[in-house]
Amino acid sequence: MTRPLPQLLFFLPQSLRRHYRPERARRRGWAGNSSAIFALRRLQKGAAMEAAEAVGRLSDTQRLKAACHYTVAGLCEEVSQDKEIQFSKQTIAAISEITFRQCEIFAKDLEMFARHAKRSTVNLEDVKLLARRSKSLLKYVTEKSEEIALNSLEEKEKRKKKSGSRKGRRASDEQEEHVVAESDDSNMA
């Protein structure tokens, strides 16, 4: 049994229902359910677009995995030259896969720490919280954060000195202009 077209449209999403125009279907010679086929084809195109976006996201993941694999392969090559040990391709692939999974876990944890603190940005405190289980990593992160803080303080002091010297120059220029203006006023009197 074939259903009339308006009943078939009930099963389509609202975004596709608005594209149905009975007068256009009649003009093109589409009978009853063939218009529903046309609407279903539009639905399939929408699903294809969503699938293409998913493939785009997948390709980003694949690019990240490839970058991770490349980095791990380079590190394994350095270690093999240093320690005179050979790594098989399977070993390098396994190390890179484990590393990528651990990085995904770290990223999710950092995001959750920031979200718990009601922030949308991950900051240094989140990284320290993540590194708390590994003493050496926590020490390294703390040292680097202190180094960055010192560098930023030095930069601020340099900017203040530069802006202070500019302000000093401006003030001395203004004083000179004021003295010149007073001498001009005294000459006029």
Residues 50 and 8 in one domain: yes
Owner of token pair 């590194």: 131
Match 């195109």 to its residue by tokens: 45
pLDDT tens, 119-136? 999 999 999 999 998 999
Tens-digit pLDDT profile for residues 28-51: 554 455 555 555 566 666 666 676
Domain containing 183: what range?
140-189
Based on the fold, state whether residues 123 and 149 are members of the same structural domain. no
State the pLDDT at residue 62.
Answer: 87
pLDDT of residue 60: 83
Kindly write down the DSSP assignment for every residue of 15-81, as one continuous string. Answer: HHHTT--HHHHHHTT--HHHHHHHHHHHHHHHHHHHHHHHHHHHHHHHHHHHHHHHHHHHHHHHHHH
162 plus 100 within the same structural domain: no
| Sequence-ordered list of residues with C-beta below 8 angstroms from that of 39, at least 6 positions apart, any chain | 8, 9, 12, 16, 17, 19, 20
Predicted local confidence at residue 10, as pLDDT: 45
For the chain, residues with pLDDT lower than 50 are 1-18, 30-31, 189
